[in-house]
């Protein structure tokens, strides 16, 4: 056996055992369904099958108050004609439903209707990657150990400081198996473990209550959350809550801002990343449309989307069209060089797919989406960057935000930020929001730290009603002149 393809074949066999064999079907059944859907002259088609087993536990007020367990499975068939997509799906995996769905897709393609729900043999298996193990992450701990883990988080947080009055913790995971067959005969499968631990605390002092939170995860088994990892997240949640007890109202106005490394890359993801997805640029609705080869950022700014990082939340061995994920340079030293593509938009834009086709589930069509999006490190000491601020804001962590893809305008709220004067941290502030324009902000980056890091594994991205796990990252950055909304 070719060792380069062995992991792909192992994943394929797992997918067959869950998605085909129990229902008395095989790849030839899928091929017949595709052939039926392609009875009319179309550009492309695929069938996508998925099995997902998920589990979640949550603790509040010292007790594990809820536990959930679910299994979802089904398939979707898609046919593409130009820029039009016909799509049908079902949660009943059977030959009759596959053929019914194929007939429905054929009718949609002919009549131009919208997505509806319906009650050649394999030629190539792409090697993909081996970025994570093909395992069920939920089996690494039994139910008692999962409950004990959350109880330990509660005990550690309450013991950390007497001002901690409430602790919330959750543990979630899923075992996701997918199989895709494309009209060109490409057959691919993936086994995708995914886990996440979250800890939130409420601290109270002199009648004032503030919150702090921390969490992390990735594509590995639940037993990766050992005592050291648990203490790290609990300590960070408690630190944030106690820090917020000392916070003052944030100042407002135009000022220079330093963004911390890691999770603040969510601003890069939202304000810039979405604008680099192929569909928005093909339609001309992105602020970056038609700007390949142009300078869109300051020198030194290099932005990538990389789905090939081991164990990361946003990584995939293959995307949801069966293409191996890639390390795609989007902005190189300030110059726009590429967009993220699925097969439909790549074909229409005369580009190549970049392994960025993603879908929430079998009941959704794929579209170009980010995986792990981050900015490369520079050469500055992070402390030197903070010291460069005369008067300004140091934003360490972010909560929610909003962005308009067409204009690039964004608003983000900082969950941890500091007021800086004469290069020194003065006091934590509360209620700071960053307001700006993504493409404009890129041109105002003046200092880039050498401390690039990725987020701890908590990102989820929404687009057109679909949610997928993602990663973000960046080094410490100084941005000259941003609008800060505050409460002071």
pLDDT digits (tens, 9 = 90+) for 40-86: 778 899 999 999 999 999 999 899 988 999 999 999 999 998 899 99
Residue 69, pLDDT score = 96
Which residues, listed in sequence order, are joined to residue 211 by a DSSP beta bridge? 202
* Residue 138: burial class (beta carbons within 10 Å; 0-12, 13-18, 19+): buried
Q: What is the pLDDT of residue 4?
A: 45
Instruction: Report phi then psi at 337, rounded to 5.
Output: -120, -15
Of 488 and 101, more confident: 101
Taking alpha carbons only, the member of 78, 34, 101, 71 closest to residue 357 is 78
With left for phi above 0 and alpha for psi between -120 and 50, is residue 278 left, alpha or beta?
A: alpha
SS3 401: strand
Q: For the chain, give the percent of residues with pLDDT over 70.
A: 95
> How sure is the predictor about 5, in pLDDT bands with cuts at 50, 70 and 90?
low
Over the stretch 124-180, which tens digit does the pLDDT of each residue have? 667 779 999 999 999 999 999 999 999 999 999 999 999 999 999 999 999 999 999
- In this model, does residue 264 exceed pLDDT 50? yes
- Evaluate the CA torsion angle 369, 361, 80, 189 in order and state its sign: positive
Q: How many CB atoms lie within 10 A of CB 206?
A: 6
Buried b (16+ CB within 10 A) or exposed e, 253-277: eebbbbbbbbbbbbbbbbbbbbbbb
Q: State the pLDDT confidence band at 1, using cuts at 50, 70 and 90.
A: very low
What crossing angle do the helices spanning 27-37 and 95-111 adopt, rounded to 10°?
20
pLDDT of 116 > 70? The answer is no
Among 274, 333, 267, 326, CA closest to 302: 333
Nearest to 247 by CA among 402, 45, 397: 397
Output DSSP code: residue 444: T
Residue 121's pLDDT is 43
């Amino acid at each position: 056996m070719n060792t380069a393809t062995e992991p792909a074949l192992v994943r394929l066999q797992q997918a067959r055992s869950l998605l085909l064999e129990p229902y008395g079907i095989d790849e030839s059944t899928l091929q017949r369904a595709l052939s039926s859907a392609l009875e009319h002259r179309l550009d492309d088609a695929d069938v996508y099958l998925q099995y997902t087993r998920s589990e979640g536990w949550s603790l509040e007020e010292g007790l594990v108050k809820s536990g959930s367990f679910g299994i979802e499975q089904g398939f979707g068939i898609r046919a593409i004609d130009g820029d039009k997509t016909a799509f049908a799906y079902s949660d009943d995996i059977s030959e009759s439903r596959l053929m019914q769905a194929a007939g429905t897709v054929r009718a949609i393609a002919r009549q131009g209707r919208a997505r509806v729900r319906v009650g050649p043999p394999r030629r190539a298996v792409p090697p993909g990657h081996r970025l994570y193990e093909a395992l069920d992450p939920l089996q690494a701990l039994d139910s008692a150990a999962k409950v004990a883990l959350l109880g330990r988080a509660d005990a550690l947080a309450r013991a950390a400081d007497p001002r901690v009055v409430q602790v919330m913790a959750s543990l979630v995971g899923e075992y996701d198996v997918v199989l895709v067959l494309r009209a060109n005969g490409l057959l691919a499968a993936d086994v995708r473990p995914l886990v996440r631990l979250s800890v939130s605390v409420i601290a109270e002092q002199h009648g004032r209550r503030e919150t702090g939170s921390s969490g992390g995860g990735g594509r590995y088994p639940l037993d990766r959350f050992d005592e050291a990892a648990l203490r790290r997240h609990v300590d960070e949640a408690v630190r944030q809550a106690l820090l917020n007890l000392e916070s003052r109202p944030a100042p407002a106005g135009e000022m220079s801002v330093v963004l911390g490394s890691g999770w603040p890359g969510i601003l890069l993801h939202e304000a810039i990343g979405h604008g680099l997805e192929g569909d928005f640029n093909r339609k001309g609705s992105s602020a970056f449309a038609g700007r390949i080869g142009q300078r869109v950022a300051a020198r030194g700014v290099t932005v990538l989307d990389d789905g090939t990082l081991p164990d990361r939340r946003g990584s995939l061995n293959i995307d949801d069209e069966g293409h191996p994920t890639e390390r795609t340079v989007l902005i190189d030293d300030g110059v726009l060089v590429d967009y993220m593509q699925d097969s439909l938009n790549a074909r229409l834009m005369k580009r190549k797919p970049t392994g960025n086709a993603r879908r929430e589930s079998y009941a959704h069509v794929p579209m170009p989406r980010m995986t792990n999006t981050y900015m490369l490190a520079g050469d500055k000491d992070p402390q030197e960057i903070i010291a460069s601020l005369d008067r300004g804001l140091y934003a360490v962590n972010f909560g929610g935000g909003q962005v308009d893809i067409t204009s690039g305008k964004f608003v983000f709220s900082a969950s941890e930020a500091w007021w800086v004067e004469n290069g020194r941290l003065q006091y934590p502030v509360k209620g700071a929001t960053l307001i700006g324009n993504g493409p404009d902000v890129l041109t105002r980056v003046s200092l880039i730290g050498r401390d690039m890091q990725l987020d701890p594994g908590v990102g989820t991205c929404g687009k057109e009603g679909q949610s997928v796990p993602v990663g973000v990252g960046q080094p410490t950055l100084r941005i000259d002149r941003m609008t800060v909304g505050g409460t002071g």
